[in-house]
Amino acid sequence: MKREWNKREKIIDRTFDFTQQKVQYQIAYNGNGKAPDKRFDKSTEGLCLFIYPSGNKVFYAVRFLEMYNRKKNRTEKNAVYKKIFRMEDHPQRNYAAAKIELPNILSLMAQPKEKKDEKTFGALAKQFISSGFSGFRLMDKADKHEYKQTTINKYTKLINTYILLKGSKDIRERMSVQTMYDERWSNKPLKDYAVKEIDQWHIECVQTRLKDTKTTANDVVKVISVIYSWAIKKKKYNLNNPVANITKFRENKIKIKMSDIDRDKILDYCEGKAFDFYPRFLSYVALLMLIGKRELELLECCWKKPITLKEQEECSGWLEENWHKEKYMYLRDTKNRKPERVYLDERSLNILKRLERSRFTDRNAWAVKSKFLFPQRKNIDKAATYSSFRKHLDRLNKHLDLETKFLFKYARKTFGSYISHKFGLERAASKLNHSSTKVTKDHYVVPEDRDNEIENIYESNIERLRKVE
């Protein structure tokens, strides 16, 4: 067998002077039917021609480079090939064209390859969770503030669910399935792309995957921007933020409030006999409606001021000393970072007094040792969560014949609208702890029918005056 091969080698000269005539017509496949048949140009160093069993011919650039063989534990010379062009694909390009293009390709092959930073975005996201929340918020320019715990929890959940794909099977499939966008295929989740590889197109692919949940899509894009901003600020990468020129989805935020009739129904139910059976849930609902604070601000409020600073930081606020007479609640951790003293009217005060008494009944004795107004039953050292009251909320909506199904998030808008219509917009802004009435009007006050009519007349008058000018 070896002799036959040697004879064959003598017959077939694999290294010879190429000509266009030989390349085009005279060289034919003479291999074993599997591997390509290689021929080398004697007159042009580094030029090689592959002839495939199908008859196709491809020009290659070839260099013999010293490489370390781990198995043999030695350095060997190995041939490295780089494709120039396939003749069948480019009839207008011939042997002469291959010779012209060869030097550029050989020079690129001679250059040492730069080590690519193959760190994935998923790895960067994990690093951000572990160390990115330390220090000051990136968005703050003038005032330096640390991340609030609520923000940390929100960002961490978004990263784990939509970037690291630790959420439900449905979300994992949605963020991983092959997707066509802008005539390109996105065939893997964002976490598997290299950090430097990601550009605006990849972010828009994420938006496409989440287009059915616009609010979530905007939140995910925001957290991606935060991760990149952090990496750039910490000089981990020399790159631009791919989210910089992204247009977010327009969210159709509908302002919904409970009608005055529904409001009275809910408060009467909370203050009625049902209170003795569900004191924490009904107290929570009633206080949301009566003082208009945010859901989390109330959930994490304590009966009295904690002694240590660490304990104070674990809650949103507390009832001030001698609150039965002074009638004030103190909130230290508000959204705008401005501490607030909240006045408790007689109705709110009675709710709190009743809640306090309920703790000393046999039915609710477990809650006595907790510092929170609304503790978790399974862990009294922690405040309740929305899920703690989910069953009770369903029961309330089922029991009461309401025009609008009650949700916790409607309470603050109901309160803002009620105060605004009764006492004016400025009073409502003050009660809601807003820095301007614009925020109150735009987001928390739902106009009555008459208010809508007046507003429309006002807008039409403004438009008419503009035309006159």
Question: What b/e readout covers 374-403, taking b as 16+ CB neighbours within 10 angstroms?
Answer: bbeeeeeeebbeeebbeebbeebeeeeebe
Torsion of CA 317, 320, 325, 327, to 10 degrees: -30
**Per-residue DSSP letter, 291:** H
Over residues 369-388, the pLDDT tens digits come to: 999 999 998 899 999 988 88
In the chain, list all ranges with CATH 1.10.443.10. Answer: 260-455
Over residues 149-168, the pLDDT tens digits come to: 778 889 999 999 999 999 88
Q: What's the mean pLDDT in 429-447?
A: 87
> Token digits for 69?
């063989």
Q: How confident is the model at residue 70 (pLDDT cuts 50, 70, 90)?
A: low
Q: What's the mean pLDDT in 355-380?
A: 91
Please report the pLDDT score of residue 346 as a whole number: 95
pLDDT of 309 higher than 50: yes
Please report the pLDDT score of residue 448 as a whole number: 65
Please report the pLDDT score of residue 7 as a whole number: 38
What's domain 260-455's superfamily in CATH? Answer: Intergrase catalytic core (1.10.443.10)
Please report the pLDDT score of residue 465 as a whole number: 39
In the chain, list all ranges with CATH 3.30.160.390. Answer: 2-110
Which single residue is written with the structure tokens 């429309």? 456
Under a CB-based contact definition with an 8 Å cutoff, are residues 171 and 159 in contact?
no
Please report the pLDDT score of residue 139 as a whole number: 58
Q: Is 414 left (phi over 0), alpha (psi -120 to 50) or beta?
A: alpha
Please report the pLDDT score of residue 179 as a whole number: 83
pLDDT of 128 higher than 70: yes
Please report the pLDDT score of residue 111 as a whole number: 57
Over residues 1-53, the pLDDT tens digits come to: 343 433 334 445 788 889 888 888 888 888 888 888 899 998 888 899 999 98
> Token digits for 456?
């429309």
Smallest CA-to-CA distance from 230 within 118, 121, 117, 149 is with 121
pLDDT of 134 higher than 70: yes
pLDDT of 125 higher than 80: yes
Please report the pLDDT score of residue 180 as a whole number: 85
Please report the pLDDT score of residue 90 as a whole number: 82
Please report the pLDDT score of residue 459 as a whole number: 42
pLDDT of 280 higher than 90: yes
* 2-110: CATH architecture: 2-Layer Sandwich (3.30)
Q: What is the mean pLDDT of the chain?
A: 84
Residue predicted with more confidence, 179 or 290: 290
Over residues 244-270, the pLDDT tens digits come to: 999 998 877 777 899 999 999 999 999
Smallest CA-to-CA distance from 152 within 130, 171, 167, 170 is with 130
As a whole number of angstroms, the distance between CA 151 and CA 242 comes to 22
> Token digits for 225?
């921007």
Under a CB-based contact definition with an 8 Å cutoff, are residues 197 and 123 in contact?
no
Q: Which of 119-128, 272-281, 334-343, 401-410 has the lowest mean pLDDT?
A: 334-343
Q: How confident is the model at residue 456 (pLDDT cuts 50, 70, 90)?
A: very low
Q: What's the mean pLDDT in 301-316?
A: 90
Residue 349's Cβ-count burial label (10 Å; 0-12, 13-18, 19+) is middle
Helix pair 279-291, 260-270: axis angle to 10 deg: 140
Please report the pLDDT score of residue 87 as a whole number: 87
Please report the pLDDT score of residue 463 as a whole number: 44
Give the percent of the chain with pLDDT over 70: 87
Q: How confident is the model at residue 450 (pLDDT cuts 50, 70, 90)?
A: very low
Q: How confident is the model at residue 138 (pLDDT cuts 50, 70, 90)?
A: low
Please report the pLDDT score of residue 259 as a whole number: 92
As a whole number of angstroms, the distance between CA 56 and CA 59 comes to 10
Please report the pLDDT score of residue 21 as a whole number: 87
N-to-C CA span, the chain? 101
Long-range contacts, 446-451 (Cβ 8 Å, 24+): 446/255, 446/256, 446/257, 446/413, 446/417, 448/421, 451/421
